Chains A and B, each alone.
Chain A
Amino acid sequence: MHFDWSYFWQELLTPSSAFLDGLGLTVLMAVLAEIIGLVLGLVFAQMRLSKFRAAQAMASFYVWAIRGTPLLVQIVFIYTGLAAAGIVRFQDITFDGFNFSGNLQAGILALGLHEGAYMAEIFRAGIQAVESGQFEAAKAIGMPPSMMMRYVVLPQALRIVLLPIGNQFNILLKNTTLVSIIGVSEMMLVTESINSATFRTFELYSVLGLYFLALTSLWTLFMKLAEKRLELRSLRPAFAAQAAGDL
């Protein structure tokens, strides 16, 4: 086995600016896709739980179609497929000196749509996990549905869904590599192009893996802290704690 340690350390500790730009794109895509996913997830979860059949059906179809097809297929479909059919061609936009390229937009959209389907299921489960008595009390006191959601149900559901949302974001961070297929120069594609010039595949992909490990580890650490902070005394389930308090 040959492993060029000096090359490995050089790439790990003093990465090229192209690699660092790739790192930036990876994080940018993940964050923007997550925001899209959270919004879509919330909307589609409400639709799935609504009493309107058409809304239910639309949301179910979305979740079914997205979760049932590979993300890689979705990315190519949205960027290349839609353009080939003449439906949408993503144009480059230069924004404050930053070139927001067409394939980057398509990649973020595809990742966001994908994330949204999983978020919809997470939010739906979270809302359904809130005790039915909380819904009834809100209704009985005269809250319309939107107010009940905002002040009573969602604050309680959010606590429940925090961990699964964090896990899903971890997956999303890694899934950004798939966008390399449509030519977005995120870390994976940059690594590939360096590799095609140097053929130091083992070293380069070790570095790439370690960068992803660093990203996901940082995220896990952040989630741990966030969870601690959210363990406010208000948010333990009322009944378990009440039983303990009664003793």
Chain B
Amino acid sequence: MSNTQDTLIEITAIEKWFDRTKVLDKVDFSVARGEVVVLIGPSGSGKTTLLRCINHLESVQGGRILVNGKPIGYRTSNYRLVEDSERNIAIQRRDVGMVFQRFNLFANMTVMRNITIAPRLLLGLSEAEARERAEALLAQVNLSEKAEAYPHELSGGQQQRIAIARALAMTPKVLLFDEPTSALDPEMVGEVLTVMKDLATGGMTMVIVTHEMGFARQVADRVVVMSKGAIIEEGRPDKIFGAPKHPVTRALLNAVMH
């Protein structure tokens, strides 16, 4: 894919090994601005690893990852890729928000502080500005009354909505979701998906790893199917869910839908 202005994430031929197991096999993947991409695939197919490469929580052994036109995690030196310093990687990560399966709210901070700390320290917002932003985000995720609560005092669904608000407070260019509803009790899945739907409608660029096929069908602009470290099929959700071509996709959809 060409590096046009509309391309926000551009991944070219990345390779990743865990010891002697190849988990990503020359994967090409790109995301346009405003696009909502859902990654599906059997467990162990590499979808979470691919997602974690986008903000360099995982390193790669080959290939190239551009976010907003800039390489992440690596810089070129004499035409060779070298691992960037932690400090530079930290700066690059500000544009990429992430929501984890297990929420990972900072356990030692209130909800308010969870949301304000990064904008305060990293974006230089004043306490008042950061709080104002946090209050707006809390209203957006319907949890204004929980500002002074600690993470462990909240349900899983509430924690995950706060985690989304925390990520949004950095005004990222893209949000990555790593199975955001997998650790939730069934009755809490809906409240998180509703927030995500609103974000998608609002034009947020999102890359989502999920098993929620109904949600994927409704929200995704594009569904990407992975198997054994490679992308085996991709396309509009009606196409993937309506007429899957690859046998692995068919088996996966059968297993999840029934």
Interface residues of A (CB under 8 A from B): 131, 133-134, 136-145, 147, 151-152, 155-156, 233-242, 245-246
Contacts and interface: CB of A to CB of B under 8 A. Distances in A.
Contacts of B155: 242, 245-246
A16 to B, nearest CB: 49
Contact of B121 (A143, A155, A236, A242): A143
A245 B153 contact: yes
Given A142-B91, A238-B151, A134 B106 contact: yes
A138 B102 contact: no
Interface string B155-178: 110010001001100100000000
Contact of A137 (B105, B150, B185): B105
Interface string B106-117: 111110000001
Contacts of A155: 108
B55 A140 contact: yes
A133 B153 contact: no
Contacts of A144: 86-87, 90
B166 A236 contact: no
B118 interface: yes
Contact of B152 (A136, A139, A143, A236): A236
Contacts, number: 99
B115 to A, nearest CB: 10
Interface residues of A: mostly helix, strand, loop or mixed?
Answer: helix
A239 B57 CA distance: 23
Given A139-B90, A151-B117, A245 B55 contact: no
Q: Which of B55, B106, B170 has the most chain A CB atoms closer than 10 A to its own CB? A: B106
Interface stretch (B1-9, B93-101, B126-134): B93-101
B152 A242 contact: yes
A117 to B, nearest CB: 27
A141 B170 contact: yes
Q: Which of B97, B107, B109, B185 has the most chain A CB atoms closer than 10 A to its own CB? A: B107
A164 to B, nearest CB: 19
B170 A238 contact: no
A134 B155 CA distance: 18
B61 interface: no
B170 A142 contact: yes
A147 B185 CA distance: 33
Nearest to B110: A234
B188 to A, nearest CB: 9
Interface string B58-77: 00000000000000000000
